[in-house]
Chains A and B, each alone.
Chain A
Amino acid sequence: MSPGHDQELAREFLRRQSDARALGAMVPPAHGGLGLSHAEYGEINRVVAEVSPSRQSLLTVHGMVCRALARWGTPAQRAEFLPELATGAVTGAFALTEEGAGSDVRRVALRARRTAGGWVLDGRKQWLTFGRTAQLFLVFARAEDAPEAAHPAGLPGGGGGHVALLVRRDDPGVYLRPAPPTSGFADAELAELELRDCRVPEGRALGRPGTALTHVAADSLVLGRLCVAFGASGLARAALSAALRRSVQREQFTGPLHRLQLVRGLLADAAVAVDGAELLCRRAARALDDRDEWAMSHVLTAKLAASRAATTATRTAAQLHGAAGLVDGGEVDRQVRDARVLEIIEGSTELLQDLVAEQALARHRADAAAEHSPRTPELRGGSHAA
């Protein structure tokens, strides 16, 4: 792809959301998509979020649905769904969160019952980003006939008994309503999804029951977190620009704000956070493209750092705007509100801290093990290092 093409795709997406080529970025060319790298898709997300984190979130969830299908769909599923997702004729929504299932996805309780002709779904999903306009939902449910389904929610366990099902908006028993208005992500078309005796035909499950949370959701969330990280770095950069503009234009005491030492401290901290976020995002994207064994660790680190950078930079922008930054719906007010969202979606800051710590420990154990057995085992012939 030529340099600047990702910028062009981002601008096109901002102009014409419904059929923008960026919606096909995560779909393989064989199914009509662009098959972009993570690095390229990340840049599109970053540029879009500089203007609108709400609209960038469509790229996150739509990309996650495309990825789940491309990775785990059967040939028939890929042929049926990916071409329409690639053109944007159909947009996808990720239906995981429920009233009782947030950070702890094992509590997902929406019921899926096996029937002769497919599945029957009953239950509710919340906070579906761009759910109001989506035509295809990747719904995570608890399969009633799976043995693990009898376990009470919340007990230790993997994704036992859960199933990921593709539900079309026009399937019988699908009801959508707008979510309560939120302070951030005002333009993200948030919705609640209710499925009542919703019947979906055979061939709509991704993977087998039991792998929905451990593999389908977890793998999609890797891309989701990368997108949120890039989006956060875009928002952070935009907020830093707003802060710098204000510090130059606004004069108090003997000159512009930027001459005040405490203001310079705020600007410096924001600039360091934004630069760090951008570098970590690009490292994570490259690691995914290179299939680096620590790619997931880099993605988690980027999400944690970039969402915090957005908070730091937007708070600085708001603080330098004084009372003007408090105007309801003004530029910096919206940036502050959107930054709050980015510390919650695709894993809250606290959940991300837990996961990043786990990855740091894994790295430590792997390094220690490598030190104790410096010789790389050969997998040829019949012997191996224990």
Chain B
Amino acid sequence: MSVSAVPPVSESQHAAPDEVRAVVTRFLSRYVDDPQSLVGVRLLTGGLLDSLAAVELIGHLERTFGLVMLDEDLDIDNFDSLDAITAFVGRKLDR
């Protein structure tokens, strides 16, 4: 089994928005030639990332931040940009 690039962070630990954003950016960079192309765009509805990347991102957030994704979290607005993903992870960790 391969090991996640980042050790899991328990929900009790604090992860600053910049750190969350860095983790997400590093993960999504594997799907694009230029990581800069991830900035300021609609990642999914804009067509930059495909559905496999979308599903793998969920798994990565669960593994890395110890999140449990609920049915109510399945909203495209939570996953469509770096800002949205960062804010979503922040809200989940604060709960």
Q: Which residues of A contact B (CB under 8 A)?
A: 72-74, 77, 148, 155-160, 206-208, 210-211, 213-219, 222, 286-287, 290-296, 355, 358-359, 362-363, 365-366, 369-370, 376-377, 379-380, 382, 384-386
Cβ contact of A158, chosen from B4, B49, B74, B75, cutoff 8 A: B49
9 A-B contacts (beta carbon < 8 Å): A211-B74, A216-B74, A293-B60, A296-B56, A359-B52, A369-B26, A377-B19, A380-B13, A380-B14
Instruction: Tell yes or no: B38 within 8 A of A by CB.
Output: no
Using A293-B63, A369-B30 as known contacts, say yes or no to A215 and B51 having CB atoms under 8 A apart.
yes
Query: Which residues in chain B, 22-62, are within 8 Å of chain A measured between CB atoms?
Result: 22-23, 26, 29-31, 43-47, 49-52, 54-56, 58-60, 62
Compute how far the CA of A286 lies from the CA of B1 in the bound complex, rounded to whole angstroms. Answer: 9
Q: Shortest distance in angstroms between B82's beta carbon and chain A's nearest beta carbon?
A: 14
Measured between beta carbons, the chain A residues less than 8 angstroms from B80 are: 158
Q: Beyond A211-B75, A380-B14, list 5 extra A-B contacts (CB 8 Å).
A: A77-B71, A208-B76, A217-B51, A358-B52, A377-B6
Using A157-B47, A208-B76, A290-B1 as known contacts, say yes or no to A218 and B7 having CB atoms under 8 A apart.
no
Flag if B51 contacts A157 (CB, 8 Å).
Answer: no
Which of A74, A358, A379 gathers the greatest number of chain B CB atoms within 10 Å? Answer: A379
Instruction: Tell yes or no: B9 within 8 A of A by CB.
Output: yes
Measured between beta carbons, the chain B residues less than 8 angstroms from A287 are: 1
Flag if B76 contacts A379 (CB, 8 Å).
Answer: no
Compute how far the CA of A77 lies from the CA of B50 in the bound complex, rounded to whole angstroms. Answer: 28
Using A207-B71, A210-B76, A379-B13 as known contacts, say yes or no to A158 and B26 having CB atoms under 8 A apart.
no
Of all A-B residue pairs in the complex, the 3 with the closest CB atoms, nearest first, are A156-B47, A210-B76, A158-B44
Measured between beta carbons, the chain A residues less than 8 angstroms from B87 are: none
Using A210-B75, A214-B44, A293-B2 as known contacts, say yes or no to A365 and B55 having CB atoms under 8 A apart.
no
Using A157-B46, A159-B76, A370-B5 as known contacts, say yes or no to A379 and B19 having CB atoms under 8 A apart.
yes
Instruction: Tell yes or no: B15 within 8 A of A by CB.
Output: yes
Q: Report, as a range, how many residues of chain B touch the other chain.
A: 35 or more
Q: Shortest distance in angstroms between B30's beta carbon and chain A's nearest beta carbon?
A: 4
Measured between beta carbons, the chain B residues less than 8 angstroms from A73 are: 71
Measured between beta carbons, the chain A residues less than 8 angstroms from B18 are: 384
Q: Shortest distance in angstroms between B50's beta carbon and chain A's nearest beta carbon?
A: 8
Compute how far the CA of A77 lies from the CA of B71 in the bound complex, rounded to whole angstroms. Answer: 10
Q: Shortest distance in angstroms between A2's beta carbon and chain B's nearest beta carbon?
A: 25
Q: Kindly report which residue of chain B lies nearest to residue A368, judged by CB atoms.
A: B30
Cβ contact of A218, chosen from B15, B19, B51, B77, cutoff 8 A: B51
Cβ contact of A362, chosen from B15, B30, B75, cutoff 8 A: B30
Measured between beta carbons, the chain B residues less than 8 angstroms from A158 are: 43-47, 49-51, 54, 76, 80
Q: Kindly report which residue of chain B lies nearest to residue A288, judged by CB atoms.
A: B59
Q: Shortest distance in angstroms between A369's beta carbon and chain B's nearest beta carbon?
A: 7
Compute how far the CA of A149 lies from the CA of B52 in the bound complex, rounded to whole angstroms. Answer: 21
Flag if B5 contacts A366 (CB, 8 Å).
Answer: yes
Flag if A148 contacts B45 (CB, 8 Å).
Answer: yes
Flag if B52 contacts A296 (CB, 8 Å).
Answer: yes
Using A72-B74, A379-B9, A385-B22 as known contacts, say yes or no to A213 and B51 having CB atoms under 8 A apart.
yes
Flag if A210 contacts B6 (CB, 8 Å).
Answer: no
Flag if B75 contacts A208 (CB, 8 Å).
Answer: yes
Measured between beta carbons, the chain A residues less than 8 angstroms from B13 are: 379-380
Compute how far the CA of A216 lies from the CA of B29 in the bound complex, rounded to whole angstroms. Answer: 23
Flag if A214 contacts B76 (CB, 8 Å).
Answer: yes
Measured between beta carbons, the chain A residues less than 8 angstroms from B58 are: 215, 219
Flag if A214 contacts B54 (CB, 8 Å).
Answer: yes
Measured between beta carbons, the chain A residues less than 8 angstroms from B47 are: 155-158
Measured between beta carbons, the chain A residues less than 8 angstroms from B44 are: 158-160, 214
Measured between beta carbons, the chain A residues less than 8 angstroms from B76 are: 158-160, 208, 210-211, 214
Flag if A74 contacts B30 (CB, 8 Å).
Answer: no
Which of B7, B63, B75, B76 gathers the greatest number of chain A CB atoms within 10 Å? Answer: B76
Q: Shortest distance in angstroms between B79's beta carbon and chain A's nearest beta carbon?
A: 8
